[in-house]
Amino acid sequence: MTFDLKIDEPHPDHRADGLAQGVLGHESDRPDGWLKVAGAATYAAEEQADDMLHGFLVRAPKIGAVTCPNLDAVRAMDGVRSVLRDPRMIRNAAQGTANEAPVQGVDRAAYVGQPVALVVAATFEQARHAAQALVVSVEEDDVPVLPDTVTPEEPEDQNTRIGDLDRAMSEAAFKVDAIYTTPSMVSAAMEPHAATAHWDGETLTLRGSLQMLKFNRNELADSVGLDPKHVRVLAPYVGGGFGSKLGISADCVAAALAAMELGQPVRVVQHRRHVFEVNTRRSETRQHIRLAADAEGRLTGLGHEALVSNLPEEEFAEPVIQGSHFAYAASNRHLGMKVARIHRPAAGSVRAPGESVGVTAFEVAMDELALSAEVDPVELRLRNIPETDPESGKPFSSHRLEAALRQGADAFGWSRRHAAPRQQREGEWWIGTGMAAAFRVNMVIEAEARITLTHDGATIRSDMTDIGTGSYAIFGQIAAELLGLPLSQIDVQLGDTRFPPGSGSGGSFGAASTGTAVWLAGMEIRQQIADRLGCAEAELTLKDGVATVANQRTTLHDLLSDETIEGHGHVKPGDAFEKVRQATFGAHFAEVAVSDVTGEVRVRRMLGSFAAGRILNPRTARSQCHGGMTWGIGMALTEELTHDRRDGHAVNRDLAGYHLPVNADVPPLDVHFVEELDDWAGPMQAKGIGELGICGAGASILNAIYNACGARVRDMPATPDRVLAAMPL
Amino acid sequence: MKTSFTVNGTPCSLDLDPRVTLLDALRDHLDLTGSKKGCDHGQCGACTVLVDGRRINACLSLAVMHDGDQITTVEGLSENGRSPLQSAFVRHDGMQCGYCTPGQLCSATAVMSEIADGWPSHVSDTLAGPYAMTREELAERMSGNICRCSCYPGINAAILEIAEEDVGYAEAAE
């Protein structure tokens, strides 16, 4: 039996509010937290075996045809078991949901850093040493590496023209017409990509650091040439992903090939410097934003055209304009994308692809409009909230931007702000505040989960991952709430392709997709219990292991004895996405200090106000928002992957050169959740929260910099040199 | 090369390739995988362990340099993995993916004793101490441990709570 749900219609019956256990929607510990603080959670490179071999990837130092002239000499080095130059090795990590092998091959490097060999030895030290001794000769190809030196592709389906934007601009009372740029950025998850592969002659078992196992299994099987039914992928604990582990990665395929060749387990861990090259980066963007407004600041025209890049044969293009389609009303619109085919490392999804950089630049432009129209920035957003989707005319499933703006402004103390820049000074520091709105599309993807109930408690199984998002916690809460069990009696098992296929982690869809599958599985069990007790499911109260129907109490123990009841939930996206526009909304507020002497920016406090449907666990949801807001600090101030102008290589490809926010860079972060139940989001009325926090967060900081010192920075990040150059004398 | 040291109270004798770092010795030769390898460059802090009570990046140190040393890893911070600091990390959600967490815990343990012992930091007003466990001091001293999930609010709340509860620490800071 399976409880299936295709989300075609709204779910106005708020069943979660009528359940008895009282854990869903409340703060609770992460059950995996106890393993993590004890150092007992097992990540991809931490499985031990006596006969484990170690592989080290070798990168192409240039772009072009690759040969390895001293291959035989390296194969004879101490401890070396093999040097793989296998055509099945992959060029770069697969894109999210690719479900098939990415571009493969080792004879031609398409970008600097492409893996072209795997050295396998008895120990890690031997493998690393031999990998460094392998000579990689490259007959160089002359290929473009700069986005503005090629004629970009202009995908027609990514081009929207409504009305006459040029005319709206010429007739506007107030307007903005400016170029904004963001650099390449990387996920930089703390756990480097790693894989441990076992081959028993028939089945390949791979423990990896991956986000979407049902796709990853197929990608791996296709890469190495196996039937997916002979491939098992495990990833119970994943040390962060942020998009970089959506698709199968080079370490996984290489480890699998080596294990299959040598008949011994092989571990391959990407060196941190490999991580910056071999996995997908966030594309740099060049964004032309045009805003036309009437005398009251109401938008009459809106333009957002973006240039991004990627390698040949990569379908992904950073969807910069995704949020601009629905963020603001304006009757004249031009949104378009251009993709430059260049030979920098592959681009792909990084936390909130599209809105993270698109909304950020757009919200800086909105700040510029607010200043020129002399309208308060919060008020400007309020005046431009659309009644319905501004392009399709579809209704919004739920739209809480106004509440997010008003409640956020109140909590932050926005009304005490000086509207004009350069009004507050403390010694060498200019003090200012800024805000931005947050927008993010909401998605559901197909997911399954199974719950097994015995009189001792329940076990949830899905191949879903927890990459730090809180899957273990919220799935346990959903099941506990439906089945009336304390959290201590729920066991959540994730990250194994032998379990029902979940959604995987990505696009903020994990909680609402696999979470809904868990909900459906729980509902199926409730139905079976109701059948046994001869009542309707809705008449059943389950709490603390006791079923109550019309004052008749039956313990789970009496009800089940030694039996097991199973529920299997299966959710699919449906017509809801055709009928309504669904998104999450929020508002960011920031206070900064800017040094008049050095241009250094210190963020003093931030507040985020977010509406994402039902919040399943405020504690884990808040942590996700902290993460997004902190990424906004990085995007605004420090994060930039620099490419060499000659060969496109990633110059600052480690954590000393690529500057992530550290503890001292992050001020107290205040997170406020706006009450919302989105009936179109499924039976829990919950939407995704993992990415909303980054969308526009950087803009609130950039706008605060302007308010503090009058420096308008349109090229991110706002490093001290850029701030000083933009500061009025 | 033969080397002997004590890890979490247990004497260990190893015969190691001299290239093996302390981190890899712990992870691959002693099966103590709690200490994490985030960069192998001393840039992220995930491998932080205590050597004779002081925190170091285990990836930047060769195992054979530690003959006779007393080493404490996350597995040795408490017997059951539920010390007050570890519990506070769970309660305040001081982790998401958990990969930096062992390093954060080891660093935090050392930070509390560094402040109690009167060691100054970059943000200290004087070089002479004593120092209080302020948010600013803590954030500065914990900045060698990167958390990409950005759990700094939870990490700081957990450490500040334990520091306040620790009577010995409070007296030393006065």
Q: Which tokens is B145 given?
A: 């441990």
Q: A190–B99: do the CB atoms touch at under 8 Å?
A: yes
Shared-domain flag, residues B64 and B126: no
Contacts of A242 (CB under 8 A, 6+ apart): A187, A188, A189, A350, A351, A467, B148
B38, B86, B143: residue with CB nearest A191: B38
Disruptive mutation site among A35, A37, A605 for chain B (greatest number of B CBs within 10 Å) = A37
Sort out which chain B residues have CB atoms less than 8 A from A238's CB and list them: 97
Specify the pLDDT at position B167. 46
Shared-domain flag, residues B95 and B158: yes
pLDDT digits over A267-280, tens only? 999 999 999 999 99
Are β-strands B2-7 and B70-72 bridged in parallel, bridged antiparallel, or unpaired? parallel
The mean per-residue pLDDT over the stretch A107-135 comes to 98
Considering B76, B92, B127, which residue would you say is the last residue of a domain?
A: B76
- Spot the catalytic one: A219, A305, A314, A691: A691
- Phi, psi angle pair for A515, to nearest 5°: -60, -40
pLDDT digits over B148-167, tens only? 999 999 999 999 999 988 74
Q: What CATH number is attached to the domain comprising B46?
A: 3.10.20.30
Shared-domain flag, residues B70 and B90: no
DSSP state of A247: S
Taking CA–CA distances from B19, the nearest residue in chain A reads A125
- Phi, psi angle pair for B53, to nearest 5°: 85, -10
Q: B149–A663: do the CB atoms touch at under 8 Å?
A: no
Specify the pLDDT at position A196. 98
Strand order in the sheet with A108-109: A108-109, A64-67, A137-140
Taking CA–CA distances from A605, the nearest residue in chain B reads B153
Specify the pLDDT at position A168. 98
The mean per-residue pLDDT over the stretch A340-347 comes to 98
Band of the pLDDT at A481, cuts 50, 70, 90? very high
Shared-domain flag, residues B157 and B90: yes
Helix (H) or strand (E) holding A584: strand A583-595
Q: How far apart are CA A689 and CA B85, in angstroms?
A: 28
Are the CB atoms for B79 and A693 separated by under 8 Å?
no
Shared-domain flag, residues B62 and B91: no
Q: For tokens 């199974």, name the residue.
A: A450
Is the model's pLDDT at A147 over the cut of 60?
yes
Is the model's pLDDT at A724 over the cut of 90?
yes
Q: A46–B154: do the CB atoms touch at under 8 Å?
A: no
Number of compact structural domains in chain B: 2
CA distance B94 to chain A (A): 9
CA distance A126 to chain B (A): 9
Average pLDDT in chain B: 94
Specify the pLDDT at position B170. 43
Specify the pLDDT at position B168. 45
Sort out which chain A residues have CB atoms less than 8 A from B143's CB and list them: 662-665
Sort out which chain B residues have CB atoms less than 8 A from A630's CB and list them: 150, 152
Domains of chain A: 3-41+444-578 (3.30.365.10), 42-352 (3.30.365.10), 354-442+582-726 (3.30.365.10)
Shared-domain flag, residues B30 and B88: no
Is the model's pLDDT at A663 over the cut of 60?
yes
Is the model's pLDDT at A472 over the cut of 60?
yes
Contacts of A172 (CB under 8 A, 6+ apart): A292, A293, A294, A300, A301
pLDDT digits over A619-644, tens only? 999 999 999 999 999 999 999 999 99
Contacts of A71 (CB under 8 A, 6+ apart): A83, A85, A134
A29, A468, A656: residue with CB nearest B97: A468
Are β-strands A546-549 and A541-543 bridged in parallel, bridged antiparallel, or unpaired? antiparallel
CA distance A688 to chain B (A): 16
- Known catalytic residue at A691: yes
Q: Which tokens is A496 given?
A: 């194994």
Shared-domain flag, residues B110 and B162: yes
Specify the pLDDT at position B129. 87
Predicted complex ipTM: 0.97
Q: Which tokens is A690 given?
A: 């993992």
Disruptive mutation site among A56, A57, A78, A190 for chain B (greatest number of B CBs within 10 Å) = A190
B28, B82, B151: residue with CB nearest A626: B151
Sort out which chain A residues have CB atoms less than 8 A from B123's CB and list them: 664
pLDDT digits over A171-188, tens only? 999 999 999 999 999 999
Half-sphere exposure of A514 (CA within 13 A, CB side): 38
B44, B74, B143: residue with CB nearest A655: B44
pLDDT digits over A361-411, tens only? 999 999 999 999 999 999 999 999 999 999 999 999 999 999 999 999 999
Q: B93–A630: do the CB atoms touch at under 8 Å?
A: no
Sort out which chain A residues have CB atoms less than 8 A from B153's CB and list them: 626, 666, 668-669
Q: How far apart are CA A291 and CA A313, in angstroms?
A: 34
Shared-domain flag, residues B28 and B62: yes
pLDDT digits over A221-247, tens only? 999 999 999 999 999 999 999 999 999
pLDDT digits over A422-432, tens only? 999 999 999 99
A189, A470, A624: residue with CB nearest B148: A189
Sort out which chain B residues have CB atoms less than 8 A from A39's CB and list them: 32-35, 73-75, 81, 102
Count the helix, strand and coil residues of chain A and give each as a percent rounded to the nearest 5. Answer: 30, 25, 45
CA distance A272 to chain B (A): 5
Residue A596: closest CA among A712, A719, A431: A431
Q: Is A645 helix (H, G, I), strand (E, B) or coil?
A: coil
Shared-domain flag, residues B93 and B71: no
CA distance B103 to chain A (A): 10
CA distance B68 to chain A (A): 23
The mean per-residue pLDDT over the stretch A355-362 comes to 98
Shared-domain flag, residues B165 and B102: yes
Specify the pLDDT at position A1. 76
Shared-domain flag, residues B29 and B93: no
Find the domain containing B52 and state its range: 2-76
The mean per-residue pLDDT over the stretch A81-107 comes to 98
Half-sphere exposure of B133 (CA within 13 A, CB side): 29
Are β-strands A80-84 and A669-673 bridged in parallel, bridged antiparallel, or unpaired? unpaired
Q: What CATH number is attached to the domain comprising B134?
A: 1.10.150.120
Considering B76, B99, B126, which residue would you say is the last residue of a domain?
A: B76
Disruptive mutation site among A29, A36, A670 for chain B (greatest number of B CBs within 10 Å) = A36
The mean per-residue pLDDT over the stretch A84-92 comes to 98
Provide the percentage of residues in chain A whose pLDDT is more than 70. 100
Specify the pLDDT at position A188. 98
A-to-B residue pairs, Cβ atoms closer than 8 angstroms: 186
Specify the pLDDT at position A403. 98
Average pLDDT in chain A: 98
A129, A239, A619: residue with CB nearest B99: A239
Each residue's pLDDT, cut to its tens digit, for chain B (174 residues) gives: 999 999 999 999 999 999 999 999 999 999 999 999 999 999 999 999 999 999 999 999 999 999 999 999 999 999 999 999 999 999 999 999 999 999 999 999 999 999 999 999 999 999 998 999 999 999 999 999 999 999 999 999 999 999 988 744 444 443
pLDDT digits over A562-605, tens only? 999 999 999 999 999 999 999 999 999 999 999 999 999 999 99
Shared-domain flag, residues B109 and B53: no
Considering B29, B51, B76, which residue would you say is the last residue of a domain?
A: B76
Q: A630–B152: do the CB atoms touch at under 8 Å?
A: yes
Specify the pLDDT at position B165. 82
